[in-house]
Amino acid sequence: MQLVTQNTICQSARVARQRANCRKCVKSGRVSASLKGIETTPVYRVRRWAARHARFFESFYVAFEAVLIFLHPLLRRIGYRRLERPVAAMEKLAKGFLFDTQMCGSCTLSATGMVCPMNCPKTMRNGPCGGVRSNGHCEVKPEMKCVWADAYAGSLLMRHGDRIREWQPPVDHRLKGSSSWLREIRRKTGDAETGDVAE
Amino acid sequence: MTEQDRTTVDVTTPLEPGHSSPGFLEKHLRAGDFTVTAELSPPDSANPEEVFRRARIFDGYVDAINATDGSGANCHMSSVAVCALLRSAGYSVVMQVSCRDRNRIAIQGDVLGAAAIGVASVLCLTGDGVQSGDHPQAKPVFDLDSISLLSILRQMRDGSQFQSGRKITCAPRLFLGAAANPFVPPYDFRPLRLAKKIEAGAQFIQTQYCFDIDRFEQFMTSVRELGLHEKAFILVGVGPLASARAADWIRKNVPGVHIPDVVVNRLAKSENQKEEGKRICIEMMQQIREIEGVSGVHVMAYRQEELVAEIIEQSGVLGGRTPWSPR
């Protein structure tokens, strides 16, 4: 049953994408005006591509985290506070390109199918709301696939996709814009200075 | 039970063993009664009599009244105020709290105040998007989602502290609820989301309108496999449809309501559509009652509230029991 859902999600996305790309379809009106909106924007297409390759990005993230943890002594010597701004800028660039992340500062990508939940218009962090349309699209933005439908499909591909069942605490809005990479390394290495960047 | 007992709030009276609130909804559910709740649509008026008039039509048929919080993102009298009025008459209420309009500071304050006026049950909702209501130009808040709201209210109740960690001298005694919508995608994820809500503190669940019994049965099968029906009381949303046209409008315009073609066609074919809508609702309630793991029904008869008593009576779901009413 899970496989069926996943296939339908991928299939409908593929069809929609093909139509949005097809000039004939656009001209003949098979693609609605709203669909031409977000479906064709590069950020949206890249972020959905990333969700379909959640397994790869999951492994990549694990490796990347290991590298950062290995670099922890060096990073500490440079000073986390000094690194905050350049790393946050880098993080925003990379994650923004791949996952269209909103830099909430409490990144949950690996627990949400490599999909940024902050792209949900209601910023739902614990699953889809009850307003999802029958075609799996968003209640607020009808032209957009529900962020959580993509997240669930992504999680099914992942090795530790079960993490989507963990519940996420409310966002600390003070952390917006700060680097969650640095925070995560400091948390994992038990760095003494672990604390809120905004403080 | 005298009216005096129903309206006074005494925070020192001990709770019954295993209960977390002094509320009647929790009492009935824990006693194993097939429980009926109904939704009251708050008036667009400052006249308290309008609230009482809307509540009176449920007298003797429902165990608790849900006071909606800006349902459909439309502006109405606040749920706290409706609850205060209903409590003054002794009614059991379920205060709905939506995360759309208020942040965590406002919500926690409201819940504390509501507990002080005797509100025992709170339904935690994320809320519809502002685009679906009469103020699409408003700023959507969504500081919390329903699950983080549940966890915060549980912390207030069990840990006697606000989310900030600051102490509450007298903790609110609450029966916490959440919503579920098994009828929209991603279907496989819905039971898992319910599990999350229960883990975060939900003790009772009120679902979205059920018009698709097959889909609901599938959902309940997963729910039973996960053992969720033993951890929370599930009340299934039902309601009469006024006509085939109304049904079609609802499914196209109200977020999250799924009405299968079979139902719409059945309405369209009938001579008296309103009567048929009522009959469908009654049949649905009787079918729902037979499903293992269901503890009750939640009747939402928007703009057809006058039918609620009749529907409940004819469905026989109360099994001869007469819920308390002020009269």
- The helices-and-strands tally (H runs, E runs) of chain A is 9, 0
Question: Cβ B144–A170 below 8 Å, yes or no?
Answer: yes
Query: What domain range includes position A177?
Result: 32-188
DSSP B73: G
State whether ipTM is beyond 0.85: yes
* Alpha carbon distance, N-terminus to C-terminus of chain A: 47
Q: What is the pLDDT of residue A18?
A: 54
Using CA of residue B131, residue B134, residue B139, residue B144, what is the dihedral sign? negative
In this structure, is residue A1 part of a structural domain? no
Percent of chain B with pLDDT over 70: 99
Interface of A with B in 142-161 (CB under 8 A): 146, 148-149, 152-153
- Strand positions, DSSP E, B54-183: 64-67, 93-98, 121-125, 175-180
In angstroms, the CA B69 to CA B73 distance is: 8
Q: Assess whether pLDDT exceeds 90 at residue B154.
A: yes
Gap between the Cα atoms of B204 and B220, Å rounded: 15
How many Cβ pairs closer than 8 A exist between chain A and B?
113
In whole angstroms, what is the distance from residue B17 CA to residue B21 CA?
10
Tokens at B183, concatenated: 């009828």
Q: Which two tokens stand for residue B52?
A: 């009482």
* End-to-end Cα, chain B, rounded Å: 12
Chain B residues whose beta carbon lies within 8 Å of the beta carbon of residue A2:
188
Residue B114: which residues within 8 A CB-CB, separation 6 or more? Answer: B80, B83, B84, B95, B122, B172
A141 is a domain residue: yes
Is residue A26 a part of any domain in this protein?
Answer: no
Question: What is the mean pLDDT of the segment spanning B177-189?
Answer: 97
Q: Cβ contacts (< 8 Å) between A123 and chain B: which residues?
A: 142, 145
Closest CA to A150 of A93, A94, A109: A109
Q: What is residue A25's predicted lDDT score, i.e. its pLDDT?
A: 47
Q: Which residue has the higher pLDDT, B61 or B6?
A: B61
Q: Angle at Cα A128 formed by Cα A122 and Cα A130, nearest 5°?
A: 90
- Position A159 in a domain: yes
Residues forming beta bridges with residue B204, ordered by sequence position = B177, B233
The DSSP annotation for B12-42 comes to TSPPPTT-SS--HHHHHHHHT--EEEEEEPP
Mutate to test the interface with A, among B130, B144, B153, B184 (most CBs of A within 10 A): B184
Share of chain B above pLDDT 90, in %: 94
Q: Which of the four CATH numbers 3.90.79.10, 2.60.40.10, 3.20.20.220, 3.40.1410.10 does domain B3-8+21-315 have?
A: 3.20.20.220
Q: How far is A140 from chain B (nearest CA, A)?
A: 6
Write down the mean pLDDT value for chain B.
Answer: 96
* Nearest beta carbon to residue B142 from set A123, A126, A132: A123
Is A129 in the B-facing interface, judged by CB distances under 8 Å?
yes
pLDDT of the residue at A37: 63
> Does a structural domain hold residue A13?
no
pLDDT at B327: 78
Give the one of B129, B143, B147 whose C-beta lies nearest to A167's C-beta: B147
pLDDT given for residue B284 in this prediction: 97
- With cut-offs at 50, 70 and 90, classify the pLDDT of residue B6: confident
Q: Using one digit for the tens of pLDDT, what is the confidence trace for B211-238?
A: 999 999 999 999 999 999 999 999 999 9
**Residues of chain B with C-beta less than 8 angstroms from the C-beta of A169:** 148, 151
Please, which residues bridge with residue B64 across strands?
A: B37
Give the sign of the dihedral formed by CA B147, CA B151, CA B152, CA B156.
positive
The pLDDT value given to residue B2: 65
CA B226/CA B219 separation, integer angstroms: 11
The mean pLDDT of B65-82, rounded to a whole number, is: 96
> Is residue A76 in some structural domain?
yes
Name the amino acid, one letter, at B256: G
Supply the pLDDT for residue A176. 96
A122 in a domain, yes or no? yes
Inter-chain contact B147–A5, Cβ cutoff 8 Å?
no
Kindly tell me if the per-residue pLDDT of B291 is higher than 80: yes
Q: Model-level pTM?
A: 0.90
Q: What is the pLDDT of residue B3?
A: 65
Asked whether the beta carbons of residue A131 and residue B184 sit closer than 8 angstroms, the reply is: yes
* A5 near B CB under 8 A: yes
Q: CB A121 to CB B195 under 8 A?
A: no
Within an 8 Å CB–CB cutoff, is residue B227 touching chain A?
A: no
Q: Which residues fall within 8 angstroms of residue B159, CB to CB, at 6 or more apart?
A: B171
Contacts A145 to B, Cβ<8 Å = none
């819920």: which residue's tokens? B323
In order, the DSSP letters of B185-243 are: SSTTHHHHHHHHHHHHT--EEEEEE---HHHHHHHHHHHHHTTGGGTSEEEEEE-----
B284 phi and psi angles, rounded to 5 deg: -60, -45
- Residue A84 lies inside a defined structural domain of this protein: yes
- Going through B120-173 in order, the beta strands assigned E by DSSP cover 121-125
Q: Is B220 on the interface with A (CB under 8 A)?
A: no
Q: Which helix (H) or strand (E) covers residue A63, if one does?
A: helix A54-70
Considering CB atoms only, which of B100, B151, B179 is closest to A169?
B151
A137 DSSP assignment: B
CA A71 vs CA A65, A76, A146, B127, B158: distances in Å: 10, 9, 37, 44, 42
Alpha carbon distance B206, B198 (integer Å): 12
Residues 6+ apart with CB under 8 A from B204: B25, B26, B29, B121, B175, B176, B177, B178, B232, B233, B234, B235, B295
* Total number of domains in chain A: 1
Residues in chain A: 199
**Confidence bin at B5 (pLDDT 50/70/90):** confident
Query: For residues B17 and B2, what is the distance between their CA atoms, to the nearest angstrom?
Result: 22
Residues linked to residue B39 through DSSP beta bridges, in sequence order: B66
Burial of B94-118, coded b for 16+ CB within 10 Å and e otherwise, reads bbbbbbbbbebeebbebbbebbebb
Nearest-neighbour CA in chain B from A183: distance (Å): 21
Q: What is the rounded CA–CA span in Å between residue B221 and residue B226?
A: 9
For chain B, domain boundaries: 3-8+21-315
Q: What is the mean pLDDT of each run of 10 residues along chain A (199 residues)?
A: 45 51 48 55 93 97 96 95 96 96 95 97 96 94 95 97 94 96 93 50
